[in-house]
Amino acid sequence: QLESFELNLFYFTDILRIDHLWIIPNLTKLSLNCNKIEVIENMEMLPALTELNLSFNYIEKIENLEKLVNLEVLSLFNNRIEKIENMDALEKLVILSLGCNLINTVAGVSNLL
């Protein structure tokens, strides 16, 4: 069973959407950095995910992550994110990378402080 999957600058650079994740529910690591993803969606299909790298995309909002209860590492470096909220459900999260974004509001990350 597939547990780790990486598509980044060296492979594909035109991924726009995260779809069809239900076919790999045991995935623990997903790296889709350096693409053109705008929206985080369908993440509830990956309950075993521990590491998610969506750096260098076009994401504007952090949303639809509350079902990723096993997530430990989340990298959203260099996107278009303006607001961080509703991250309290990610109790196992220990690394959150949000540099080079447009963030002006931070809420719901008390477990990281």
The two beta strands, 73-75 and 4-6, are unpaired
Give the CATH superfamily of 1-113: Ribonuclease Inhibitor (3.80.10.10)
Q: Coil, helix or strand for 55?
A: coil
CA distances from 59 to 3, 21, 91 (A): 24, 18, 22
Tens of pLDDT along the chain (113 residues) come to 655 665 454 455 566 666 667 778 888 888 888 888 888 888 888 899 999 999 999 999 888 788 899 999 999 999 999 988 778 889 999 999 999 999 987 777 766 66
What is residue 77's predicted lDDT score, i.e. its pLDDT?
97
